[in-house]
């Protein structure tokens, strides 16, 4: 067995009374992609922050190439050859891509003038293998996916021996992800050790050599990827066998169309989209970044103006963009950006849940806190929100529970059409299963559910049919047995419907 390049032995970390990590182990070999998996709160990010020099461990030893590895900050970690690609984008929006990529170097070089042209050339080089992002563009002007690419390019220029990726594909499209994977394989071939954190099983199994699972801050097991299965890993992560992730589809016949959208455009990304939504079904909406998925839904809900097309709900024309009118009619939208646009982090669970319709918990003059709390308690029960009380600040909840609060906020108005955008982004696997079950229950109760997701297995798992968008137009629809990652990707890439004969491997 080769000597590990990086070895983590019995490392512990406490935050106050909380054991974020207790005696965890990890061995990283040179030329290996080592996946680190676990539910949210399992301690993955804590360990990565320790390795990256962001926080210091309370106990245990870390060795890098046989020498003790103690670093007091990210600069020290980089000097030892350990780089970290953060999950959350940490770039300066008002300076150029090149200046961002070489921020650390510019900081340590100590020269008086910036070497702009040199930086631009080297930045282009670093970005070349990834995705064409102009080196002179301002980072703030780029879409999130391109910003993520810049973040990755920044880490690649550090010439590390150990590179840590913390959910790098969370904001990337399939194509960009694939570009990243081939780069990671290239780095691996050069003998670099790579620690890769992700919630996406498919990625882990195509990319990694070994998988280490953490649960509740403790080491569970290191598995060899070739000798295990996604089910086995999931079982290790939750500590119990996980039954079906996706709830069974309903066998009820589809009802009549309640919401029909005819040829809408928003003047930007949405060019010509028509769709129909029926009570009792879950309609999946697929498409690459830039396909106008989210923008289509924003226009339908009245959160963004539309320039063309008509929308009919219950046989009546919906006029101009007015989300408040949509809410009253029963059309609601769960945003993809949980912390940015879905919940009020500083307010309590109860105050969040009542936000869409304060009148329902108010008397003629004032909010009745008893009614407000009763609604919140009902939602807590129904969605399984884990909290000490509904007066708890939403900021203190885990990602999965915050998402349940965001969903509860919408369900409190008893919607008839529910749009959910990336409903399980950044949510652990237990909460995912719960959210899928909630969506299916809602459909069974007669709500029309429309789900957007970048995770195709998820979309295929929960949807009755999937509408695929490509560059602002409907590229096609798949349902039943014809729903597969292949058919959806084919449509999403603008290649037209996948011919059935070519579906061999």
Partner 1 sequence: MTVSNVSVVKRLFRVREFGLLAIIALIFVVMSFASPYFLTWSNMRAVMLSFSVEGIVVIGMTILLIVGGIDLSVGSVVCFSMVVGGALFLAGLDPWTASLIAIACCGFIGFLMGQCVTRIGLHFFIVSLAFMVIVRGLCLLITKGTPQSLFSLPPAFKFIGQGSLGPVPFVIVIFVVLIAVFDVLLRRSTFFRRVYYTGSNEKAALFSGVNTNRTKVICATICGTLSGVAGVVYMARFGAATPQFGVGMELSVIAAAVIGGASLNGGAGTIAGAVLGAALLSLVTSSLILLNVPPYWQDIIRGGILLVAVTADHLLNTRKSKG
- For 20, the token pair is 């974020």
CB 357, min distance to partner 1, A: 8
Q: Kindly state the smallest distance separating residue 342's Cβ from partner 1, in Å.
A: 6
User: Whose Cβ is closer to partner 1: residue 346's or residue 445's?
Assistant: 346
Collect all residues with Cβ–Cβ distance below 8 Å to 415 and sequence separation of at least 6.
330, 331, 332, 447
DSSP state of 389: -
Give the whole-angstrom CA distance, residue 51 versus residue 249: 44
504: which 2 tokens?
A: 């061999």
Cβ 34 to partner 1 shortest distance, Å: 29
Q: Is residue 25 a contact residue for partner 1 (CB under 8 A)?
A: no
Q: 290 — alpha (psi -120 to 50), left (phi > 0) or beta?
A: left
Q: How far is it, in rounded angstroms, from Cα 387 to Cα 98?
A: 44
Element (DSSP H or E) covering residue 47: helix 44-51
- Using the rule CB under 8 A, is 370 a contact of partner 1? no
Return d(Cα 202, Cα 106) in angstroms, integer: 38
- 396 contributes a contact to partner 1 by CB under 8 A: yes
Binding residues for partner 1, total number by CB under 8 A: 34
Instruction: State in angstroms the smallest separation of the CB of 294 from partner 1.
Output: 12
Does position 398 bind partner 1 by CB under 8 A? no
Nearer to partner 1 (CB atom), residue 190 or residue 370: 370
> Strand ranges (DSSP E) for 158-258?
162-166, 193-197, 210-215, 218-224
Token match 């949210």: residue? 40
Q: Taking CB under 8 A as the rule, does residue 17 contact partner 1?
A: yes
* Contact letters for partner 1, residues 300-339 (x by CB under 8 A): ---x-------------------xx-xx-----x-x-x--
Asked if 367 is part of the footprint of partner 1 (rule: CB under 8 A), the reply reads yes
Q: Which residues of 417-427 are buried (b: 16+ CB within 10 A; e: fewer)?
A: bbbbbbbbbbb
Q: Does 371 bind partner 1 (CB under 8 A)?
A: no
Residue 7 touching partner 1 (CB under 8 A):
no
With binding defined as CB under 8 A, does residue 15 bind partner 1? yes
355 binds partner 1 (CB under 8 A): yes
Q: Binding residue for partner 1 (CB under 8 A) from 344, 377, 477, 479?
A: 344
Name the residues that contact partner 1, by CB under 8 A: 15-18, 303, 323-324, 326-327, 333, 335, 337, 340-347, 351, 354-356, 358-359, 362, 365-367, 369, 395-396, 409
């Amino acid at each position: 067995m080769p000597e590990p390049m990086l070895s983590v032995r019995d490392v512990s970390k406490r935050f106050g009374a909380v054991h974020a990590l207790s005696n965890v182990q990890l061995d990283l070999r040179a030329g290996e992609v080592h996946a680190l998996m676990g539910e949210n709160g399992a301690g993955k990010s804590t360990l990565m922050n320790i390795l990256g020099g962001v926080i210091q461990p309370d106990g245990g030893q870390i060795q890098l190439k046989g020498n003790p590895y103690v670093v007091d900050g990210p600069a020290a970690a980089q000097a030892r050859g350990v780089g970290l690609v953060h999950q959350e984008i940490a770039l300066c929006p008002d300076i150029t891509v090149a200046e961002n990529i070489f921020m650390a170097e510019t900081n340590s070089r100590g020269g008086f003038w910036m070497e702009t042209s040199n930086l631009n050339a080297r930045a282009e080089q670093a970005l070349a293998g990834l995705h064409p992002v102009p080196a002179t563009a301002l980072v703030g002007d780029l879409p999130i996916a391109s910003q993520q690419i810049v973040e990755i390019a920044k880490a690649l220029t550090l010439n590390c021996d150990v590179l840590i990726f913390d959910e790098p594909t969370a904001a990337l499209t399939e194509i960009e992800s694939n570009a990243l994977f081939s780069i990671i394989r290239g780095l691996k071939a050069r003998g670099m050790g790579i620690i890769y954190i992700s919630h996406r099983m498919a990625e882990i199994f195509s990319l990694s050599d070994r998988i280490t699972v953490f649960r509740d801050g403790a080491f569970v097991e290191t598995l060899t990827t070739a000798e295990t299965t996604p089910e086995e890993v999931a079982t290790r992560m939750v500590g119990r066998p996980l039954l079906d992730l996706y709830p069974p589809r309903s066998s009820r016949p589809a009802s009549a169309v309640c919401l029909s959208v005819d040829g809408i455009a928003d003047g930007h990304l949405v060019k010509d989209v028509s769709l129909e939504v029926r009570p009792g079904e879950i309609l999946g909406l697929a498409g690459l970044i830039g396909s106008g998925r989210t923008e289509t839904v924003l226009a339908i809900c009245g959160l963004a103006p539309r320039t063309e097309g008509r929308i009919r709900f219950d046989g009546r024309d919906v006029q101009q963009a007015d989300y408040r009118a949509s809410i009253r009619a029963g059309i609601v939208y769960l945003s993809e950006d949980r912390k940015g646009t879905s919940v009020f982090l500083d307010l309590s669970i109860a105050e969040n849940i009542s936000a869409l319709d304060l009148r329902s918990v108010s008397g003629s003059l004032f909010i009745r806190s008893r009614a407000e709390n009763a609604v919140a308690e009902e939602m807590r029960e129904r969605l399984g929100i884990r909290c000490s009380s509904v007066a708890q600040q939403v900021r203190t909840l885990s990602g999965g529970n915050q998402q349940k609060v965001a969903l509860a906020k919408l369900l409190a108005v008893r919607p008839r059409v529910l749009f959910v955008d990336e409903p399980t982004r950044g949510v652990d696997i237990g909460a995912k299963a719960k959210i899928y079950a909630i969506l299916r229950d809602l459909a069974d109760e007669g709500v029309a559910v429309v789900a957007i997701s970048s995770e195709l297995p998820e979309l295929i798992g929960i949807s009755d049919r999937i509408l695929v968008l490509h560059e602002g137009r409907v590229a096609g629809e798949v349902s039943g047995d014809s729903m597969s990652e292949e058919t959806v990707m084919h449509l999403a890439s603008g290649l037209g419907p996948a011919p059935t004969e070519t579906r061999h491997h």
